[in-house]
Structure 1
Amino acid sequence: MADQSTPGTSSAARETASAKKTSPKAPRATAPEASADPSARAASSEGAPTRVMSRRRLLGTAGATGLALGAGGAAVGYAAAPSADRTVPLASVGADAEMFHGKHQPGITTALQARGHLVAFDLTAGAGRREASALLRRWSATAERLMAGEAASHDDTDVALDAGPSSLTVTFGFGHGFFARTGLEKQRPVALDPLPDFSSDHLDKGRSNGDLWVQIGANDALVAFHALRALQKDAGSAARVRWQMNGFNRSPGATASPMTARNLMGQIDGTRNPKPSEPDFDGRIFVPGSGDPAWMANGSYAVVRRIRMLLDDWEKLSGKAQEDVIGRRKSTGAPLSGGTEKTTMDLDRTDADGNLVVPINAHARITRPDQNGGAAMLRRPFSFHDGIDADGVPDAGLLFVCWQADPLRGFVPVQRKLDRGDALSDFIRHESSGLFAVPGGAARGEYVGQRLLEG
């Protein structure tokens, strides 16, 4: 889990995501009539649009007004509550928006989000191609509005009425069974054939697969929940929820400097994830525009797995033993062979006794692309914690989501290698699995999947 994980926190991915962001067209939060910032008041009084305050400007204002760390003042970010007749500008976390329309669907190369929901639906009895088409049209329209910071519909629940878009993304995919239900078997991609069985699998069929898959991500939990409820309501009588999983990541700004994500084992997770800046990135992650079938052009395949971490067993290990299992330093993510997080791992380095510094079964060694015939996948997971089970054991771990142009060349070779002797296998359990074809992004005036359903 450690070496090829989420792209959102790599510098290249952050630059890519930042370039995609636009101001919301109609944010839920109204512009302030009486801003605490004099420049904002002046702009408002002259009829100019009031702009949201940037994070840098917000922190600068806090410093200027005496909000400083120490006994004499409140910590930065904990200002006094505004009076009832005043509003405050959105922080950049709330104001950031992602584009719904584009070459690829959002939520694939988007920077890692703080909150996520993964949901699978099955078409109901009697629902076929026509009902599925109408549903994807509704879902796409709702996702576009919500990602722009607008109300979901005229009868919106207003759950996130006073929030901005908060980098909300909604991503849609099709499972293997969808094609038989809609009479589109001839359009089902070969790459969507069921995944092979793995010896480490303990899969719950009720929480695996599904006709339709929806991934929701946002940097505000209420915004993510609002999107979840809106899409569930839109399903109407056409589809019912098969399973739902809820996850989280670190909030933007929670660390002093950007870093790769940490998982619930405390390990830096995602050091060797493919980066959009790499010349072969698109070829590894996305189906080419001339791909087969044509409706999957610029799309990708998502493997989704609920991986439970046996934290009680893991936490009994010493820090040194944990590092040997992973092959990297827990504090910095640097390989045990030396250097920094980004240093290339020296797989042949030995200690004074002639033992390999990076153990032969270390997770980071086994998952390296050069140890798997070049197999690579873009991992973008969420952590989860669903309380304590009947035995008093934490039900926590990783909602693993990985993207690739072909799962038989991405996920499958790596998982087979892990199956044969990964030291981490003693501390994790794969409990559910799904594979979904995620078509390319919808052009303006289109809905996601239109080229399949109306082709």
Structure 2
Amino acid sequence: MTGDTSGTAQPDEPEQSTGISRRAALFGGIASIGVGAAAGVAATRALADSTTPAPVATATAAPEGQPVDAAGPEQAGVTRPAVRQAHALIVVGFLDVIDAAADDAAAHEAIGAALANAGLRILTLCTPPGDDTVTPDGPGDLTITIGLGARPLELSDDPSTAEFVAIPMFSGDDALPEAALSGDVFISVNATDPGVLDSSLRAMTEALGGVTLAWSQLSFRGYAAAGDGVSRNPFGYFDGITVPRTPEDLASDVWISSGPLAGGTICVARRFELDTAAFAALKLSEQDAVMGRERATGVPLSGGARDDDINLLSKSPEGDFLVPARAHARAAHPSFTGSLLMLRRSYNYVNSADDVGHVFLSYSINTDAFAKTMVRMEEIDDLFVYMHATAGGAFAILPGYDARTPLGATLFS
């Protein structure tokens, strides 16, 4: 997806895969590092008893490189900072504490302790001065966001929450390794300084008691000239133009309002490898027709300004649609699916000259908007020819937390 999927016409792109086995160790053995579950809970309670309540984070963005409060009613890294950081390390994996547990009850307790420990670690890492063994120059605008897949949700206090991350198989998914489309945990480590990503991820996998890698991607966003986070994808077109921005839109379309996931959201992550060489071989007019927008300005082919919604009914004097019938902007437009807006915070990647792509990340109250858009793209989107999914999944981004309310407390009491 690379053109218009955020709920109104949004650019959407790609990902890459790994095919690493479910038991492959994450970053050379971190998966086998254990954590004392009781110690994690005790440490969280000790900090809560010795500190004042953490301040509630606002929805406004911190200046680039400035600290982002990890505490609040929602996790940082979704709407805070408002403009996503320049670099990200996305990891999906399996929680070792589940596989090490003797039974479901033990797994439930171990997951709760691991999440509480992870939340405490995030608060330490992201609050100045940070941890000099992980971020020796301070945390900057580091954020670490945690989501859970179906298996740990099924072991939670409310197993029905696993339904939130149910998502269908799409074209080509049956050819991917099982691990590329599943996972217990989603970890998004984001920062302006890419040098803190790897060390922060290591600290997080240790805090969680070990994570076995399913897939991962080091990624970046392009230059956001307008200061609104809109940047270009590997095809050279603006990505993420239309997203929910007002508190009202975020409340209705992004943040879950009730139940144990209240204050959380659902992230759909999907990595696409892009055939940028084949796309670049098209004439510029042909590229614009595939996208439904002008490459230079981002203006819809139906006219107007970059941020205007696309007029899908607009026609030329000859009677042809100005936005072609198979343009991405038309195929991904939510008017055809009746879907909510998706908050897009996607990233690009370049693994090699022959492996270029896009990690599509959307946040919404369910997986419905993404699933309906994907099906439509498969059927009538000319951009789909240049995209190949290599990994993906859906994850419940846990509600916010602070020193007194551990991460995951609403699901693992």
- TM above 0.5, yes or no, is yes
- C-alpha displacement at 1:93, in angstroms? 3.5
User: Does residue 217 of the first structure (1) align with residue 190 of the second (2)?
Assistant: yes
Q: Structure 1 vs Structure 2: percent identity of aligned residues? A: 26
CA distance in 1, matches of 2:295, 2:311: 17
Give 2:335's aligned amino acid. Answer: D
Partner of 2:142: 168
Q: Secondary structure at the match of 2:367?
A: coil
Q: Which of 282, 286, 308 pairs up with 2:255? A: 286
CA distance in 2, matches of 1:371, 1:429: 23
Q: Is the 8 A contact 1:383 1:399 kept in 2?
A: yes
Aligned counterparts, 1:26-425, within 5 A: 93-94=64-65, 96-110=66-80, 111-124=83-96, 125-127=99-101, 128-152=107-131, 157-158=133-134, 160-162=135-137, 164-180=138-154, 182=155, 186-193=159-166, 195-201=167-173, 203-236=176-209, 238-250=210-222, 255=225, 260-277=230-247, 279-288=248-257, 291=258, 294-388=259-353, 394-408=354-368, 410-425=369-384
Q: Which of 388, 391, 409 pairs up with 1:432? A: 391
CA distance in 2, matches of 1:172, 1:430: 23
Q: Deviations over 1:51-91 (max 9, x none)?
A: xxxxxxxxxxxxxxxxxxxxxxxxxxxxxxxxxxxxxxxxx
Measured on the aligned residues, the alpha-carbon RMSD in Å equals 2.4
Partner of 1:25: none
Larger radius of gyration: 1
Q: Deviations over 1:177-228 (max 9, x none)?
A: 1245x465635342222x1122254533232321111111111101222311
Q: Deviations over 1:132-165 (max 9, x none)?
A: 222212211111111113344xxx535x312x43
- C-alpha displacement at 1:259, in angstroms? 6.1
Q: Secondary structure at the match of 1:132?
A: helix
CA distance in 2, matches of 1:145, 1:287: 27
CA distance in 2, matches of 1:303, 1:434: 6
Give 1:347's aligned amino acid. Answer: L
Partner of 1:72: none
CA distance in 1, matches of 2:214, 2:302: 45
Partner of 1:27: none
- C-alpha displacement at 1:314, in angstroms? 0.9
CA distance in 1, matches of 2:60, 2:226: 22
CA distance in 1, matches of 2:120, 2:229: 35
Partner of 2:47: none
Q: Secondary structure at the match of 1:232?
A: helix
CA 1:450 to 1:176, structure 2 compared with 1: closer, same or farther past 3 Å? same
CA distance in 2, matches of 1:240, 1:122: 5
Q: Is the 8 A contact 1:6 1:269 kept in 2?
A: no
- C-alpha displacement at 1:313, in angstroms? 1.0
CA 1:374 to 1:132, structure 2 compared with 1: closer, same or farther past 3 Å? closer
Q: Deviations over 1:326-363 (max 9, x none)?
A: 10000111011212202332222222432211101111
- C-alpha displacement at 1:105, in angstroms? 0.9
Structure 2: runs of 5 or more not aligned: 9-56, 102-106
- C-alpha displacement at 1:234, in angstroms? 2.5
Q: Secondary structure at the match of 1:109?
A: coil
Give 1:451's aligned amino acid. Answer: T
Q: Secondary structure at the match of 2:236?
A: coil
CA distance in 2, matches of 1:256, 1:212: 34
Give 2:136's aligned amino acid. Answer: L
Q: Secondary structure at the match of 1:171?
A: strand
Q: Secondary structure at the match of 2:187?
A: strand
Q: Is the 8 A contact 1:168 1:217 kept in 2?
A: yes
Give 1:212's aligned amino acid. Answer: V
Aligned residues: 354
CA distance in 1, matches of 2:276, 2:157: 43
CA 1:232 to 1:268, structure 2 compared with 1: closer, same or farther past 3 Å? same
TM-score for both structures, normalised by structure 1: 0.72
CA distance in 2, matches of 1:213, 1:318: 39
Give 2:278's aligned amino acid. Answer: D
TM-score for both structures, normalised by structure 2: 0.79
Q: Secondary structure at the match of 1:325?
A: helix
Give 2:280's aligned amino acid. Answer: E
Q: Is the 8 A contact 1:375 1:414 kept in 2?
A: no
CA 1:297 to 1:258, structure 2 compared with 1: closer, same or farther past 3 Å? closer
